[in-house]
């Protein structure tokens, strides 16, 4: 058994590799003291948050990466002198590099704690999803079916890794290999996101063609 998600971008996109993904949350406990008598006593959690953030590789961010390049993304930060919290997401297609990113995220917290001589930083890491290519690589015929369906409809298949994830990233690891095909979406997760009706119709046509091709293969058996 297999399935397809319709969660891709421009017409022709066909994807079977996704990121490995994790979320990292840092909780920083500062020490608030009156600013007039703070020397040698205050630990400003806001400044510790800035210090911690500055330890991440400056070029491994979404706005400077593409293709198979992974990244660290500071998604949210909130702070005052007493408390701070940073939420990062880690992304990489390569499993070993993904594990290295998680290890690095833990190590910088340890360095901060060592510098201040106490555990002022707690780090929590949670895996979110994994590269579905690990599963689908053993079932590439389902990618070929989708590719053939597009070609039959005079659509040029654009096979590339997803710089994100789909429901297929989880479903594939549950035993149902699930590549992703285009749905026509553009400018995802921004205020200029849109989809053209014509692209959605073509995506529907591809699904129908996949069904026809699959039926023909079944009849041959």
| Parallel, antiparallel or unpaired: strands 185-186 and 194-195 | antiparallel
Reported as a single tens digit per residue, the pLDDT across 95-104 is 999 999 999 9
What DSSP element (H or E) covers 195?
strand 194-195
Hey, what domains does the chain have and what are their CATH numbers?
5-18+133-220 (3.40.630.10), 20-129 (3.30.70.360)
Task: Kindly report the average pLDDT of the chain as a whole number.
Answer: 96
Please report, for residues 37, 139, 166, 195, the alpha-carbon distance to residue 181 in angstroms, rounded to integers and kept in the order given. 62, 16, 10, 14
pLDDT tops 90 at residue 216: no
pLDDT tops 80 at residue 217: no
Reported as a single tens digit per residue, the pLDDT across 132-176 is 999 999 999 999 999 999 999 999 999 999 999 999 999 999 999
Reported as a single tens digit per residue, the pLDDT across 25-58 is 999 999 999 999 999 999 999 999 999 999 999 9
pLDDT, position 122: 98
Q: How far apart are CA 10 and CA 163, in angstroms?
A: 14
Reported as a single tens digit per residue, the pLDDT across 70-128 is 999 999 999 999 999 999 999 999 999 999 999 999 999 999 999 999 999 999 999 99
Angle between the N-to-C axes of helices 95-116 and 45-53, in degrees from 0 to 180, rounded to the nearest 10: 140
pLDDT, position 189: 87
Please report, for residues 40, 123, 158, the alpha-carbon distance to residue 118 in angstroms, rounded to integers and kept in the order given. 15, 14, 52
pLDDT tops 70 at residue 221: no
Q: How far apart are CA 47 and CA 21, in angstroms?
A: 28
Q: Report residue 160 as tokens.
A: 């590339």
């Amino acid at each position: 058994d297999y399935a397809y998600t319709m969660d891709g971008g421009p017409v022709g996109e066909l994807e079977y590799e996704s990121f490995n993904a994790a979320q990292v949350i840092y909780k920083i406990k500062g020490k608030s003291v009156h600013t007039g008598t703070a020397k040698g006593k205050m630990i400003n959690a806001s400044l510790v948050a800035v210090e911690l953030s500055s330890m991440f590789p400056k070029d491994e961010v979404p706005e400077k990466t593409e293709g198979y390049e992974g990244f660290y993304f500071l998604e949210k930060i909130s702070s005052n002198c007493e408390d701070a919290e940073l939420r990062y997401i880690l992304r990489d297609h390569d499993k070993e590099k993904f594990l290295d990113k998680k290890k690095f995220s833990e190590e910088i917290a340890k360095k901060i704690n060592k510098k201040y001589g106490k555990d002022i930083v707690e780090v929590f890491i949670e895996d979110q999803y994994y590269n579905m290519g690990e599963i689908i690589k053993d079932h590439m015929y389902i990618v070929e079916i989708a590719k053939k369906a597009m070609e039959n409809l005079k659509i040029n298949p654009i096979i590339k890794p997803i710089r994100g994830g789909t429901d297929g990233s989880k479903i594939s690891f549950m035993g149902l290999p699930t590549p992703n095909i285009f749905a026509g979406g553009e400018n995802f997760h921004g205020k200029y996101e849109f989809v053209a009706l014509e692209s959605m119709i073509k995506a529907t046509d591809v699904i129908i063609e996949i069904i026809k091709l699959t039926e023909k293969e079944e009849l041959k058996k």
